[in-house]
Amino acid sequence: MAADRRLAAAGPYLPAELIPDIARHLTSLQDFFALRAACRSYRAALPPSRAVLAAQPPHLLVPHSSGALALLHLPRRRLLRFRFGDPLPFSGAVLASDGARVVTFDRLTREVAVTHLLSGERVRVPDAPFLFSRAVLAGDLVLLISPGWVQYCCLGDGRWREACCRLGDGGLCHGANALHMMVGMRSVNGVLYVLLNTCRLAVAELLDNKVELVLLGGEVDEHVRDAWMESKDFMLGECAGEPLLIFKVSLKPAYKVFHWDSGEERWVRTMSLGRRTLFMSGDRFDAWFGPDTPGIRGDCIYEALPRAAGWSEYSLVDGICQIITIEYQGAPESNVARSHVWVFPSLF
């Protein structure tokens, strides 16, 4: 290939089979894509994957006045130079993200799109239901949740299915059992957990036309109820294979976090995540990172800011919250709401 021959003639040339080992030590997506663009052989040797992106820290996807999107590098706290086309196909809201893929919804055409953030590969699902409260991305499933119902679609199938939620004893999650309404759902180690509006946790079995819920434990204790009363929002998350109940208790922001104790079958307040870190975007829980991730503080919650390029860092240990904002050329006006999305290359 001409590009490969020119590169070899210009100076020392590294065999393509060594390139993945070099890429594993890069800590910026800008460096990764620069290496990948050197020649066709390198590009073929470096498909974006977890194996070669393991050392990459989290990035924040932000809008740019050019119409493209840019990436903020968290540890360096600066904008990367390269731009790429907008992977979010609609002007509508971002429904869900797992750091590698993002789910968006066009309310005019009722089309849901699932887009891979680095490759740009996109799956479109038409005729999505209009009424739902939250969206969940679980493997090849997209689930749209309403209080007593779930609409779900398997990517590649393109057909929405409707499932009524039922308790394990056969009762419906509406009507006589209206207290048990779903407000969140998350797959943890292959188990589909559901958070109810009473803060109780359930395990869900997804069948063709119903979601059967098995309640775990008893009623929540006074610590959960107190956090519930003072919170503006709560959501279901996870960390190290355990479900989490996360309360956002003020606009500061501040949080109270409870982990699920499977032995005692109850929520237990936690002030430490074992140096792990949680990432959120508004009312969405996105992902958690293990201890000692370079450039990331442990036992903290990172949340993307809604109207500025930056994030908050809240320490569960001392309750101190830091707000980090990054000014960059080409940023939208500060009072414009933005759909910031966390990008986690090491989870690809």
pLDDT higher than 80, residue 340: no
- Residue 233: pLDDT band with limits 50, 70, 90: confident
Q: What is the pLDDT of residues 181-214, one digit of tens each?
A: 888 999 999 899 999 989 999 999 888 788 889 9
Full 3-state SS string of 32-66: HHHHHCCCHHHHHHCCCCHHHHCCCCCEEEEECCC
- Residue 272: pLDDT band with limits 50, 70, 90: very high
Over residues 171-183, mean pLDDT: 55
Give the N- to C-terminal CA distance of the chain in Å, as an integer: 30
Over residues 251-276, mean pLDDT: 93
* Strand order across the 277-281 sheet: 284-289, 277-281, 300-304, 310-315, 321-325
* Pairwise pLDDT comparison (77 vs 242), residue with the higher score: 242
- Residue 156: pLDDT band with limits 50, 70, 90: confident
pLDDT for 86: 56
Over residues 321-338, mean pLDDT: 78
* Pairwise pLDDT comparison (342 vs 8), residue with the higher score: 342
Distance CA 220, CA 271 (A): 19
pLDDT higher than 50, residue 8: no
pLDDT higher than 60, residue 329: yes
Please state which of the ranges 133-147, 174-188, 315-329 shows the lowest mean pLDDT. 174-188
- Residue 153: pLDDT band with limits 50, 70, 90: very high
pLDDT for 9: 47
pLDDT for 339: 67
For CA atoms 75, 346, 187, 102, give the dihedral sign. positive
- Residue 106: pLDDT band with limits 50, 70, 90: confident
Tell which phi-psi region holds residue 151, choosing left (phi > 0), alpha (psi between -120 and 50) or beta: beta
Please state which of the ranges 4-13, 26-35, 228-237, 317-326 shows the lowest mean pLDDT. 4-13
Token look-up 């057909």 returns 159
pLDDT for 298: 94
Over residues 275-283, mean pLDDT: 91
pLDDT for 13: 67
pLDDT for 208: 75
Distance CA 295, CA 80 (A): 16
pLDDT higher than 80, residue 336: no
- Whole-number mean pLDDT of the chain? 84
pLDDT for 334: 62
- Residue 79: pLDDT band with limits 50, 70, 90: confident
